[in-house]
Amino acid sequence: MIVTRGRKFRLYPTPEQKRMFNRIFGACNLVYNRFVAENVRRFEERPIIDPEKKDQGDKKKKKKKSKFRNKIGCSISQLDHKFIYAAIKAEAKRDRAASSEDGIGWILDVPLTYLSDAHRTFHLAWRHYKIMRKNGHDVEEPTFRKRRHRSFGFHGNFCVTAKDGTTLYWSHDQKKSHNPVAKPYYFLHNQKLIGPIRGIFPKGSFDHVVDFLSFCISQRADRYFLSIQVKEHLPDPVFAGPRVGIDRGLLTFAVTSDGVDCEEHHLPKEKIRHLECKIDQLTRKQARQQTTCPKCGHRNRKPMKKGQRAWNCPACETHVKPRRSKRLRETKIKIGRLYLQIDNVRAAFHHNLSRRLAEENGSLVVETLDVAGMAARAKAKQTCPKCGYRRTEARVPGWECPKCGAKINAKKHNKMSRSIYRQGWSEFERQLTYKGKWYGCEIVKADRFFPSSKICSACGFKRGKMSLSEREWTCSECGATHDRDHNAATNLAGYKSCDH
């Protein structure tokens, strides 16, 4: 079986290579934004046809389909993008001849090989937007890239060389492979422009690779990564094994119906909370660095609003702009690395658990969760839990019910919404879906309104309303005592689409 997989490796470029990467990042963003601007211009200049002025006399006359429908502009053809490239190149030459510091003359140092990926990415984004709109989804059209978008892709030859001279080389015409490459390695692409790039390469990563599709170099928190999309040969899956239900929760990430409760089923929350506390400390430090007047040293105690670029010092009445100092940049990099570490901890947990479940079982039944709705309901606690009174005023940290006098603390529910997003349920379900096809495991998604927690797994009795704080309950029909999560997983294991 041939599958498409992605591999990601860490790169260690030299300072000169980092400067070249920054030029390529900026050039790709500029070209992509030019395509978006051209598409917006075409949409604004589209011919608007009044439906009342259509010719209704000739009924046999076939109606021509309009190119522009429902806020969808026209796609840029292969012929048009050559004119856009020519306009960018002419503008860059004028800026370089005039020695303009604010111009785009630096884009001439970037070859067309990397800029062509911006055109390909724009076409893929636009095609995805049209398909989603055609299927009835409410999605936004491709927008302009911001400066923080730091990635570019390319196609071409691939070469890995170790220190001992072992080489793995790939091109579209021929393939040369030798012994498995040991780390460290050098990734070679466009030797004249970039040169060899040092990185860490795990042993045996390309043992079953059939074809290389594309490459992408990205930057996050001042760290560089190489992503490779490959076609890999895997053994044909055999769908055999037990049927297991999975109930996802906050206390325990995944509770299975087979009763296995090990450390692998628990998300490392303590480590994530420890990293989040460090982020809070550095965020306060960043705020102090941004809100200190360089003239008199007065610190602005008012938090800067989103999008605010400057503030007035009340002590010396100076218009202060946040300085882009070296310490401020180092603080931002530290915060970004902590966020990257949190993502790595969560991703490692998801990958390990999803692979183990897909390899050991023949069928998995998971519940369909409305994660965005659960977090929104937890964040905006506008309903009294005692009497059901619905509050229509603006959100506040705490309020008192005018009907029964109960006091509702909304901050508690804000923390609950943060815990819901911390779990990463949607990503875990996505990984289970494609890994089930690789390892021979059928993934069944139960209906969103299937009451798995309220049904007795022993006799099938369905209970009425049950609060979230009830972790154990006793069936009134058969007298069996159930743990809430394990009972839900058992009911999911016996789920059938005709049950609901």
- pLDDT tens series, the chain, 500 aa: 888 888 888 888 889 889 888 989 999 999 999 988 888 887 777 666 555 554 544 444 444 443 333 444 455 665 577 788 888 888 888 888 888 877 888 888 887 778 888 888 888 888 888 888 888 887 888 899 988 889 988 766 666 666 555 555 555 444 444 334 444 555 555 555 567 788 777 777 777 777 778 888 899 999 999 888 888 888 888 878 889 999 888 888 888 888 776 666 788 888 998 999 999 999 888 877 777 777 777 777 666 666 666 777 877 877 777 666 788 889 999 999 999 999 999 999 999 999 999 998 889 999 888 877 777 665 555 677 677 777 766 556 567 788 787 777 655 555 677 888 888 888 999 999 999 999 889 999 998 888 888 889 888 888 888 887 888 888 888 888 888 888 899 999 888 865 55
Angle, alpha carbons 453-456-459 (nearest 5°): 160
CB hemisphere CA count around 171 (13 angstroms): 6
CB 255 within 8 A of CB 486: yes
pTM of the model: 0.77
CB-based burial of residue 126 (10 Å sphere; 0-12 exposed, 13-18 middle, 19+ buried)?
A: buried
Distances (CA, A) of 79 to 73, 75, 86, 128, 333: 17, 11, 11, 21, 42
Q: Are 248 and 369 in contact (CB under 8 A)?
A: yes
Q: Are 72 and 103 in contact (CB under 8 A)?
A: no
Contacts of 354 (CB under 8 A, 6+ apart): 428, 431, 432, 435
Q: Would you say 363 and 357 are in contact if contact means Cβ atoms under 8 Å apart?
A: no
Distance CA 454, CA 482 (A): 10
The tokens describing 84, both together, are 């856009």
Assigned token pair, 265 = 């089923």
Beta strand 209-220 with 197-199 is: unpaired
Return the exposure string of 202-230: e unless at least 16 CB atoms fall within 10 Å of the residue's CB, then b.
eeebbeebeebeebbbbbeeeebebebeb
Listed in sequence order, the residues at least 6 apart from 188 whose beta carbon sits closer than 8 Å to its beta carbon are 159, 160, 161, 195, 196, 197
Residues 6+ apart with CB under 8 A from 178: 166, 167, 168
